[in-house]
Amino acid sequence: MRRLTLTGDPAAVVEALRAFAPPAEEVRAAVADILADVRARGDVAVRAQSLRLDGVHLPAAYAVSAQAMSQALAAMRPETREALSQAAANLRAYHERENTAGRWRLTLPAGQVVGQEVVPLAVAGLYVPGGLADYPSSVLMTVVPAQVAGVGRVVVCSPPRPDGGVAPGVAAACALLGVGDLLPIGGAQAVAAMAVGTATVPRCDVIVGPGNAYVTEAKRQVMGEVAIDGLAGPSEVLIVADEHADPAWLAADLLAQAEHGAGAMAALLDVGGNLGDVVALEVDRLASEVGIAADNVAVVACPDTGTALALVNAFAPEHLELHVSGASELVPAIRNAGAIFVGPYTATAFADYVAGTNHVLPTGGAARFAQGLSVVDFQKRISVVELDRSAACALALHVAAIAEDEGLRSHARSAMLRTE
């Protein structure tokens, strides 16, 4: 565990905390080669890369069948199925509230009608990490907002297991939500297949979901020919706490992020500087108990709440927990965070699974300009304009004045013709 002290400008502390997740420059060339291979050879490349990178030999028809998904759901523990169903219901309620601003029209003073049409994307590609792990929660977090948005076809890609299928929880969650397309492919080859399309994988309009460095780099390289939700990096949390916070709770919440593995970062912003020693002891005790390392955990001593919040806004964390008196009153002061967890009972783990908000969030400081996965990521807005003769006459002289100054005489003529 690292111990830091914040006294003034937060930049140095931000740099120290970001050092937990150094960039992997060597990934870029490897991903470019995989993308080029999939573009050139399609499914043949997807299968070859899966054999090379995952050690799995996929058959020619490698899509997971609806029967296999249904069998995985039937085999799931009843309590897990019930929990996933409740989580899906909460997510759907949250994202349906997001989806309330639909099509609209407004008549402006000159008489022209302007407005907006909201059109769902046709095909969404959803990446669900896997490999040795099983993340049905990531299926819910990506599929539900796509369905609420009205996406026509949802395609899920997740790394293959040795038998050629996907993790059973992922397959079960797809069956629970009625997903028809589940492909046992992962890594950059999955992103490439969704971006360019193959005989098996439909070409997608958007690719969303978290993944490792290769998945993230692949999304960066295909961005522009397909939409993406963002470039997710290792998980991170900042916890602002004062002397009233429970050290055991703080330690558990810190390690809940640290256990995400390489590059993950968890930091306690110790307001007043009184918690560091006792929390460090709790972190060491719990880390030993659950068998994980605490090398990526830090405690930053902060003189007051204002200084801590300045560090929060400079760092722009993926997750922000507020374990301080009057936590809800501090929310308006937070400009940069992927998600805010208000009060000591609101552990990040609740939103990771069942609270209802989405756990696909901006990392690496991207919360300065980005937001968590939402219905908007699966829709496009089309502007609509309608003028009658009266509105055209009212606006044409203004068009002509600007167009003439810009040297675009045909623009001016196009508008003025409507007045003759």
Strands 113-120 and 379-386: antiparallel
User: In which element (H, E) is residue 38 found?
Assistant: helix 27-41
- 408's CB contacts (< 8 A; 6+ apart) are none
Q: Is 406 noted as a catalytic residue in this protein?
A: no
Sheet holding 153-157, edge to edge: 181-183, 153-157, 123-127, 206-208, 227-228
Contacts with 258 (C-beta within 8 Å, 6 or more apart), sequence order: 264, 265, 266, 287, 292, 293, 294, 296, 297
Residue type, 397: L
Shortest CA distance to 228 belongs to which of 90, 127, 311?
127
Given a contact cutoff of 8 angstroms between Cβ atoms, the answer to whether 214 and 30 are in contact is yes
For this structure, is 318 an active site residue? yes
Cα→Cα distances 386→263, 404, 413, Å: 52, 23, 19
Active-site choice (319, 321, 323, 359): 319
Q: How far apart are CA 46 and CA 212, in angstroms?
A: 18
CB-neighbour burial class of residue 178 (10 A; exposed 0-12, middle 13-18, buried 19+): exposed
Distance of CA 402 to the CA centre of its chain: 42
Tokens 């297949």 correspond to what residue? 193
Q: Do 225 and 373 contact (CB within 8 A), yes or no?
A: no
Active-site pick, 318, 321, 323, 359? 318
Q: Which residues are catalytic?
A: 318-319
